[in-house]
Amino acid sequence: MNTWALVAFAFWALFLRYLPQILNFLRLQRFAKTLPGPSVGELIANVKKGEILNWLKELRERHGPVFRIWLGKDLMVMFSDPEDVRQLLGNNALLYKSRNYRLLEPWLGKGLLTNGGESWHRRRKLLTPGFHFRILSEFKEPMEENCRILVSRLKERANGEAFDIYPYITLFALDAICETAMGIKKHAQLQSDSEYVKAVQTICRVMHKQSFSFWQRLNIFFKYTEMGKERDGALRVLHDETNRVIRLRREQLLKEREQQKQKEKEQEKENEDKAEENDVGGKRRLAFLDMLLLTQLEGGAELSDVDIREEVDTFMFEGHDTTSSAIAFALSLLSKHAEVQQRAYEEARDLEGREKESMPYLEAIIKETLRLYPSVPFFSRQVLEDMQVGKHTVPKGASINCLIYMLHRDPVNFPDPERFDPDRFYLNEKQMHPFAFAAFSAGPRNCIGQKFAMLELKCSLSSLLRSYQFMPDKDHQPIPLAELVMKSGNGVRLSIKPRRLN
């Protein structure tokens, strides 16, 4: 065989190897032509400007609730109609996250957020009891202790002068997740400057930029760029910290187990009664990290050290960045709406010392905050088989994206959508479409930390409202940025003065 024949044969073999992908890409292109959407040039211009959220909002207004975007060879189909969102989130065939989430893998590996299919299902089953309501009730005490520290740290700012409250809130939220789900004392609030928090900020910024850049999406090149090096530096800080948390808790747990065994030997009878008290339906409930470590120690499910680190990375990130954003935006809105703040204050004052969960007006404020500033403004899934959504048959190989930020601005369910009005949820929630509000997603891949988040939000906001009055910084309007988790690009500035201190 001569050289040309060999080359022709190699091309033919390659062509056959990639024929299914080529045919599918052509199908994606045919489907994309049936949808409106921006040109590649428009995408590049808006990525450069860094105003993705405003641009998506503009596209929603221009094209309606379904449109498409090409990200390199990846076709993203964007949905924001509540009926479409209902179909998507309830669909058990949509359990794989889109390719975009792979950018998170150097950090979160195959943790619960990025994992898919059967492996995700096994982990979700294993982790769900870690957020059982009995466990959450044990979290209240450490949570309240951290609220007291937050209130006390803010004393230095209670002079009526405007400042950025966001750094105070992030450290509080980091301590809250570490001292509850992870079972270790972190004291980030008392150190006032956390390398971990800075590294999370770096990585969110870098990964957001990477996700909208064609060539930087390729990890082979990305790691050699300036941004790639910045990401790798942040990754070292993040992984060192999670490894430290795991090591610390493992040592404590082993000690506690030894002490427990000793006790059991001494008081066998008494212990039987005690064990019953700790049981829910015959099964002992353990907090998140203890459950992972004990499962590993007892060999119940195969869990390597890396598996545990991936979950701890995922929960440390999701468990503090989302709630910090929600608390800070809620305070910003309350500072600008004195009458809403007064009603919330009166509810918190009257219910002091009683069950914090029953604060219906504060709950409405939290939902209205998450409507306007959803901590996770959009999320996406990989379509593995052709699927019908409304009148569209989305082909296999496309990604679908739920634009929660736009869903929450649908004027049919939320008239005058930019107006902050907690009464929408306090008085009129039943009249809304059940999927008009989806800040915690819904269906099998909904937020596992939803109840934890509500507990933390209610606990912190009620403590803060009882202690301080919040006033706006008139020159400041938060600039929402969608860097994985919604942030304010210019901080959250306001001023405070004491009501009375706890």
- Provide the residue type at 328 as one letter: A
In whole angstroms, give the CA distance from residue 396 to residue 212: 22
Instruction: Give yes or no for a contact between 55 and 37, defined as CB atoms under 8 angstroms apart.
Output: no
402 carries a ligand binding annotation: no
Instruction: Give yes or no for a contact between 172 and 179, defined as CB atoms under 8 angstroms apart.
Output: no
CB of 366 to ligand HEM, least distance (A): 8
Q: Specify the residue, 469 or 488, whose C-beta has the smaller distance to ligand HEM.
A: 488
In whole angstroms, give the CA distance from residue 77 to residue 98: 11
Q: Which residues contact 500 (CB under 8 A, 6 or more apart)?
A: 466, 467
Report the residue closest to ligand HEM, judged by CB.
449
Q: Containing H/E element for 71? A: strand 66-71
Q: Specify the residue, 97 or 424, whose C-beta has the smaller distance to ligand HEM.
A: 97
Which among 422, 330, 434, 440 is positioned nearest to 379, based on CA atoms?
Answer: 440
CB of 224 to ligand HEM, least distance (A): 29
In whole angstroms, give the CA distance from residue 456 to residue 143: 7
Q: Specify the residue, 39 or 92, whose C-beta has the smaller distance to ligand HEM.
A: 92
CB of 185 to ligand HEM, least distance (A): 18
Q: Specify the residue, 399 or 467, whose C-beta has the smaller distance to ligand HEM.
A: 399
CB of 244 to ligand HEM, least distance (A): 19
Instruction: Give yes or no for a contact between 393 and 381, defined as CB atoms under 8 angstroms apart.
Output: no
Q: Specify the residue, 89 or 154, whose C-beta has the smaller distance to ligand HEM.
A: 89
Q: Which residues contact 60 (CB under 8 A, 6 or more apart)?
A: 67, 78, 80, 403, 406, 409
Locate 128 and state its tokens: 């769900």
Q: Specify the residue, 157 or 409, whose C-beta has the smaller distance to ligand HEM.
A: 409
CB of 448 to ligand HEM, least distance (A): 5
Q: Specify the residue, 295 or 469, whose C-beta has the smaller distance to ligand HEM.
A: 295
Instruction: Give yes or no for a contact between 413 and 436, defined as CB atoms under 8 angstroms apart.
Output: yes
Residues that bind ligand HEM (CB under 6 A): 112-113, 124, 181, 314-315, 318-319, 322-323, 326, 370, 375-376, 379, 439-441, 445, 447-449, 452-453
CB of 438 to ligand HEM, least distance (A): 7
CB of 109 to ligand HEM, least distance (A): 13
Instruction: Give yes or no for a contact between 60 and 381, defined as CB atoms under 8 angstroms apart.
Output: no
Q: Specify the residue, 460 or 495, whose C-beta has the smaller distance to ligand HEM.
A: 460
In whole angstroms, give the CA distance from residue 434 to residue 432: 6
In whole angstroms, give the CA distance from residue 439 to residue 437: 6
* Residue that has been written with the tokens 């001494």 in this structure: 266
CB of 316 to ligand HEM, least distance (A): 9
Q: How far is CA 339 from the centre of its chain?
A: 30
Strands 66-71 and 493-498: unpaired
Sheet harboring 493-498: ordered strands across?
Answer: 163-164, 493-498, 468-472
Binding site for heme: which residues? Answer: 447
- Please state the residue numbers annotated as binding site: 447
